[in-house]
Amino acid sequence: MNRLLFLLFMLFSMSVLAQSKEYSIVVKDIDTQLPIDDATVVVLKTKQILLSNQDGKVTFMLTGGSNFQVSEANHEPLIVRWAALKENEFVIYLKNKKNKLDEIVLSKEAPDKILHKIVSNSIKKLAVSCRLKVYVREFFMLDNKYSYYNDGLVNFQFSVNQKEPTTTLLVEQNRSYGLIDTDVSADLKGYNLNNIMENYYNLNYLDPILDSKLKKEYYFIIKGHPSNKDYYVMFAKPIKISKKVMDSFEIVYDPEKRLIIEFMIVTTPETAAKIEDKTNVGAKNITRSLVKVNYRVDGLDYYLLSSNEEIAYDLVLKDKIKNIQVRNSFVTTNFNKQKFTYNESDVFKEKTLFNKKNKILTNYWDTSGFRATDEEKILIGALDYKM
């Protein structure tokens, strides 16, 4: 009898030990002691990818222990051993590179031709069959008040044909809170997850400065990256303000590998204010726009790491004007080139998670790549309360 009880006790103990535990890491600058946002933390045991929020924090579930790889473009990368971590919430310090190589790069080749080459090579490297597990989320403001939120844990299944990668969307979990005014709900329904991801992989956002006709409206300059000697930064800015929206582009790239590491596209409020407003019903006058996309190079692998898009515009209605602001994010939590199978019934064929019935199996929003800040949790909780 004692032996049986002992055996049952051992089995129970092993079961408890095998359960996943929640851990948190806070990433800080070693000199300033300030949190570092957008730092990449890779759990080497599971290959899970995490991105730190504005508080420098990431949270994850883990069975047993694992070493970590922590990196950020302006800081020295670091491998952290599990044995060196002794608390449930760890603080990891990164050293700033302090390269300050913000000088103009001279080249025999014109910047726009260099851009064509790095874009072409980046698209070629991205064109692989793979699956991205991605945490997506969206905040929506109507007349400067938060009124809607959704997020989800989804899988983008990439297949590559002769022309370009295409995606199939599989939704694991999702939730949405708040209400949307009927006048603007159609705009949200146009937010197409597959199209956005395919645009990131085909680099369609850079078309305005690749087009031979449009590029003449921009001036180009290349500088050394201020904190990373291995990267260059290409700037493309409008030569003059025109009646149409003209964005400013900033592209961080690796000149040796000819790969884009990050690009950012901005329409500033000052630029938008100089553009002539449209007055017809249904017109959208942009007041601010930002697109920031990051890619990760991991050995021979190259894939989307994260994206943030923000847009604010005035929607012209018959009797009034409504201000709309949308902020959405993608964070890749896992990249895998393994061949996956799925049933056709698993495919999500709608454009967006808008109006999709909530499917919550776990608290995926806390451990799926990008943890909400305390301020964001208050906003989400308030919208949940209204439902």
Is 151 within the bounds of a domain? yes
Helical axes 193-202 vs 111-126, angle rounded to 10°:
120
Which helix (H) or strand (E) segment is 27 a member of?
strand 21-29
Is 105 within the bounds of a domain? no
- State the Cα angle at 53 between 131 and 308, rounded to 5°: 55
What pLDDT is stored for residue 8 in this prediction?
Answer: 47
What pLDDT is stored for residue 3 in this prediction?
Answer: 55
Is 326 within the bounds of a domain? yes
What pLDDT is stored for residue 242 in this prediction?
Answer: 60
Is 156 within the bounds of a domain? yes
Residues 246 and 306 in one domain: yes
Structural domain containing residue 237: 111-386
The DSSP 8-state label assigned to residue 204 in this structure reads G
Is 9 within the bounds of a domain? yes
Residues 61 and 125 in one domain: no
CATH of the domain at 34: 2.60.40.1120
Residue whose token pair is 């949940």: 384
SS3 category, 384: helix
Residues 124 and 55 in one domain: no
Residues 87 and 142 in one domain: no
Cβ contact 134:155 at 8 Å: yes
What pLDDT is stored for residue 15 in this prediction?
Answer: 45
- Taking the alpha carbons of 103, 109, 113, 114 in that order, is the dihedral positive or negative? negative
Give the number of domains in the chain: 2
Residues 67 and 121 in one domain: no
Residues 361 and 318 in one domain: yes
> Which of 39, 59, 94 delimits the end of a domain?
94
Residues 57 and 127 in one domain: no
Residues 267 and 379 in one domain: yes
**Whole-number Å distance between alpha carbons of 336 and 50:** 15
> Which of 68, 94, 120 delimits the end of a domain?
94
What pLDDT is stored for residue 283 in this prediction?
Answer: 84
Is 104 within the bounds of a domain? no
Residues 122 and 38 in one domain: no
Q: Helices marked H in 83-157 — which ranges?
A: 111-126
Task: Report the Cα–Cα distance between both ends of the chain, in Å, rounded.
Answer: 55
For the chain, 387 residues long, give each residue's pLDDT as a single digit of tens: 455 545 544 444 444 445 778 888 899 999 999 999 999 999 999 889 999 999 999 988 888 888 999 999 888 899 988 877 766 678 999 998 776 656 777 677 888 899 999 999 999 999 999 999 999 999 999 998 999 999 999 999 998 876 678 899 999 999 999 987 777 777 666 678 999 999 999 999 999 899 887 767 888 999 988 888 889 999 998 887 665 667 899 999 999 999 999 999 998 766 776 777 788 888 888 888 999 999 999 999 999 999 999 999 888 888 889 899 999 999 999 999 987 888 888 899 888 888 789 999 999 998 888 999 999 999 999 998 766
Is 374 within the bounds of a domain? yes
Region of residue 141 (phi > 0: left; psi between -120 and 50: alpha; otherwise: beta): beta
> Which of 64, 94, 124 delimits the end of a domain?
94
What pLDDT is stored for residue 14 in this prediction?
Answer: 44
